[in-house]
């Protein structure tokens, strides 16, 4: 399973019902500074390049309301990410935590910015 997760181009972080790290992809580790010893640690203990101080609150809200959260945020090195937080459902339909996905949208944001600042002919 870990090989499959690492082969996709999306950073994924799995948290349990207490918002402790359950599993993550290599891409997530690069963004959130995760290592193997972080398994079981609370999300609130992790350091990250994300400019997203309300990540913990949004993850808690998703767990409570079962509503997906989606935001576009930046990092300390000026990259852009689309961050989605969704409830994690087991096969028996029990909510067992949340899944956080991070998709790098820096190139898209740079193109949008270039088009906005392009002089009209």
pLDDT in tens, 104-120: 999 999 999 888 887 76
Express as a percent the part of the chain with pLDDT over 90: 81
Query: Is the pLDDT score of 4 beyond 70?
Result: no
pLDDT on residue 118: 78
Q: CATH number, domain at 29?
A: 3.30.450.20
Total number of domains constituting the chain: 1
Q: pLDDT confidence of 9, banded at 50, 70, 90?
A: confident
State pTM to two decimals. Answer: 0.88
16 in a structural domain? yes
CA 116 – CA 113 distance, rounded (Å): 5
22 in a structural domain? yes
121 in a structural domain? no
Q: What is the pLDDT of residues 21-57, one digit of tens each?
A: 999 999 999 999 999 999 999 999 999 999 999 999 9
Query: Exposed e or buried b for every residue in 78-110, given b needs 16+ CB within 10 A?
Result: ebbbbbbbebbeeeeeeeebbbbbbebbeeebe
Nearest to 44, CA basis, from 25, 63, 68, 18: 18
């Amino acid at each position: 399973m870990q090989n499959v997760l690492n082969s996709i181009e999306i950073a994924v972080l799995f948290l349990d019902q207490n918002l402790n790290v359950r599993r993550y992809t290599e891409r997530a580790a690069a963004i959130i500074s995760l290592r193997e010893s972080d398994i079981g640690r609370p999300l609130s203990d992790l350091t990250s390049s994300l400019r997203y101080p309300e990540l913990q609150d949004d993850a808690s809200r998703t767990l409570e309301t079962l509503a997906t959260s989606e935001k576009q945020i930046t990092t300390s090195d000026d990259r852009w990410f689309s961050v989605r937080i969704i409830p994690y459902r087991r096969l028996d339909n029990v909510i067992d935590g949340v899944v956080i996905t991070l998709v790098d949208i820096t190139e898209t944001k740079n193109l949008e910015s270039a088009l906005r600042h392009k002089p009209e002919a």
